[in-house]
Amino acid sequence: MAQWVQGRITGKTVWTERLVSLQVDAEIAPFEAGQFLKLGLEIGAETVGRPYSLVNAPDERPLEFCFSIVPDGPLSGRLAALNAGDSVLVASHASGFLVLGEIPAGRHLWLIASGTGIGPFLSILKTAAPWQRFERIVLVQSARLASELMYRDTVERVAEAHPERFAFVPLVSREATDFALTGRIPQAIADGQLEARAGLGFDARDSQVMLCGSPQMLAETQQLLTERGLTKNRRREPGNISVESYW
């Protein structure tokens, strides 16, 4: 059972009508970049809690979470309705294995996110560790609409800090833009567009790939990378592909 502490909303970013970020002040135990913790609300007689990735780096405060509103989902819509000053339950301890400590050595780090799966990767990119361990880092962010590519300022700051070593590949599936690839991540891997835009190829010797987001993107992307010779990363059998599914 989660051990809850009382949190307070300190700010809110409404990206679109279905995408929201909350900034939260709460006393939690130290965590690793890439981990998640539960947020909860009392709904009727029940405490309903769901896991959310921390977007802030471990040394940054307030805590930050970004999420989509799932129609008919019990918690996400209620969380999105909170405003500065409101209370929220926060699990005191984070968990999760989408962290650099679980990632074997490599030269190139690919961080591939659909939707709100960008969150844990921003936390990781704001720390020193990936820049100490990898020569090149590619962040891939996909969304249905350009307006849903959240945190573009944060990504720009990362790019400015590491101009030679960082590539950002945005994808938008439901409209054409003048800056993003059009289509979905698996499609852009299959037709070579993603690697062309990144200026880097997937390679079983050099690449470590972290994937986060929807189960469909994860399954299709893993399948394509496996066909390219990359293998799933397991503690007992280190490989190239590490995954976190949001549902």
Ligand X SMILES: Cc1cc2nc3c(=O)[nH]c(=O)nc-3n(C[C@H](O)[C@H](O)[C@H](O)COP(=O)(O)OP(=O)(O)OC[C@H]3O[C@@H](n4cnc5c(N)ncnc54)[C@H](O)[C@@H]3O)c2cc1C
Applying CB under 6 A, the residues found at the interface with ligand X are: 36, 50-53, 66-68, 70, 73-76, 96, 115-116, 119, 244, 246-247
Count of C-beta atoms within a 10 Å radius of residue 71: 8
Record the tokens describing residue 76, joined without a space.
């996400």
Nearer to ligand X, 151 or 246 (CB): 246
User: Between residues 148 and 195, which has the closer beta carbon with respect to ligand X?
Assistant: 148
CA distance linking residue 178 with residue 68, whole number of Å: 25
In the bound state with ligand X, the residue whose beta carbon lies nearer, of 32 and 195, is 32
Q: Which residue lies nearer to ligand X by CB, 50 or 197? A: 50
Query: If DSSP states are collapsed to H, E and C, what string results for 141-175?
Result: EEECCHHHCCCHHHHHHHHHHCCCCEEEEEEECCC
- CB nearer to ligand X: give 106 or 115: 115
What are the residues whose beta carbons fall under 8 Å from the beta carbon of 22, sequence distance 6 or more? Answer: 9, 11, 12, 64, 65, 66, 67, 79, 82, 88
Could you tell me the smallest distance in angstroms from the CB atom of residue 210 to ligand X?
13
Give the nearest distance from C-beta 113 to ligand X in angstroms: 10
Locus of tokens 């809690």: 49
Q: Which residue is nearest to ligand X (CB)?
A: 73
Task: Find the shortest distance in angstroms from Cβ 203 to ligand X.
Answer: 28
CA separation for the pair 228, 189 (Å, rounded): 10
CB 134 within 8 A of CB 108: yes
Minimal distance in Å, beta carbon 21 to ligand X? 10
Q: Nearer to ligand X by C-beta: 50 or 108?
A: 50
Q: How far is the CB of 183 from ligand X (least distance, A)?
A: 19
Least separation in angstroms between residue 76's CB and ligand X is 3
The torsion defined by the Cα of 149, 153, 155 and 158, in degrees rounded to 10, comes to 180
Three-state secondary structure call for residue 218: helix
